[in-house]
């Protein structure tokens, strides 16, 4: 049985589970405080570490992520990994040597290409994440402080009205993200804190729609095969975005 390792971030790790499942699953090591090391190993560019990601995964990150990984039927064991520990059979961080360097586009396709796995475009519709649906709202909303498109404000305000987000949705993420969203849109959407990413996945699984921007929550919604509407950052054409999934139920604005 294989052992897999990932150094982060959380969204990248969730996307990697598609190939973990296809490779037969096994043990999963979450590397603590290793993201700078893996980026230097595979890209040689310290500047590739976003300030928000420096020092990740932390022990707190591990406690948030581990319950979601443990829920996956194809993962047999989850444990922390520290620099100097025995190297795993499959170092999932290898995708960093491929995405944006040998290939620019969907992150799932990048994982397949980096590990020489068969790829065809039907795999954009892969569902690889498992959860236990909890129905609290028809729509789950998350808007982080990264990958923002200021021009999307009128679209968000219109969706707040059309979908009546104040009554039909819950907001997940940090309290600061929730406050910023309410201040920005004027929409008094309810805030729903979660204990960990497993609870977050359960809420998304129980909803009809995920509405947000590029984030850990979006990667979960994609892995679950949920209908999604994504605020996309317009720094490059849509087809070159790592989060562009040309599949039924996925839309972008």
Q: Which residues contact 9 (CB under 8 A, 6 or more apart)?
A: 35, 53, 56, 57, 216
Q: What is the pLDDT of residues 190-201, one digit of tens each?
A: 999 999 999 999
As given in the structure block, the two tokens for residue 30 are 């979450």
Q: What's residue 48's pLDDT?
A: 76
The predicted-structure confidence for 135-191, as pLDDT tens digits, reads as follows 999 999 999 999 899 899 999 999 999 999 999 999 999 999 999 999 999 999 999
- Cα angle for residues 139, 225, 159 (degrees, 5° grid): 30
In percent, the amount of the chain with pLDDT more than 90 equals: 90
Task: Give the confidence band of 25 by pLDDT, cuts at 50, 70, 90.
Answer: very high
Predicted pLDDT at 55: 86
Are residues 204 and 220 in contact, defined by beta-carbon separation less than 8 angstroms? yes
CA 102 – CA 111 distance, rounded (Å): 12
47: confidence class by pLDDT, cuts 50, 70, 90: low
Q: Residue 53 — pLDDT band, cuts 50, 70, 90?
A: confident
**Alpha carbon distance, N-terminus to C-terminus of the chain:** 42
Where are the chain's structural domains? 2-125, 139-252
Average pLDDT over residues 20-49: 91
Summarize the confidence of residues 224-245 as an average pLDDT.
94
Which of 14, 70, 5, 69 has the alpha carbon at shortest distance from 32? 5
Q: Which CATH superfamily is domain 139-252 in?
A: Glycogen Phosphorylase B; (3.40.50.2000)
- Which two three-digit tokens encode residue 173? 């993420």
């Amino acid at each position: 049985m294989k052992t897999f390792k990932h150094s982060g971030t959380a969204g990248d790790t969730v996307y990697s589970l598609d190939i973990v499942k296809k490779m037969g699953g096994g043990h999963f090591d979450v590397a603590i405080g290793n993201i700078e090391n893996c980026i230097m190993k595979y890209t040689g560019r310290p500047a590739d570490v976003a300030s928000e990601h420096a020092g990740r995964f932390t022990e707190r990150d591990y406690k948030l992520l581990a319950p979601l990984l443990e829920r996956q039927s194809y993962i047999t064991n989850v444990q922390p990994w520290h620099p100097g520990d025995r190297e795993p059979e499959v170092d999932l961080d290898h995708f960093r040597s491929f995405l944006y360097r040998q290939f620019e586009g969907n992150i799932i396709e990048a994982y397949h290409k980096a590990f020489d796995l068969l790829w065809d475009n039907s795999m954009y519709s892969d569902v690889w994440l498992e959860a236990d649906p909890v129905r609290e709202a028809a729509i789950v909303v998350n808007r982080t402080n990264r990958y923002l498109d200021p021009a999307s404000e009128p679209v968000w305000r219109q969706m707040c009205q059309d979908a009546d987000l104040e009554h039909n949705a819950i907001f997940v993420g940090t309290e600061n993200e929730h406050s910023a969203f309410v201040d920005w849109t004027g929409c008094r959407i309810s805030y729903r804190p979660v204990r960990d990413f497993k609870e977050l996945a359960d809420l998304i699984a129980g909803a009809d729609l995920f509405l947000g921007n590029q984030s850990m929550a979006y990667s979960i919604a994609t892995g679950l095969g949920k209908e999604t509407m994504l605020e996309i950052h317009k720094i490059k054409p849509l087809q070159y975005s790592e989060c562009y999934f040309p599949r039924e139920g996925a839309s972008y604005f």
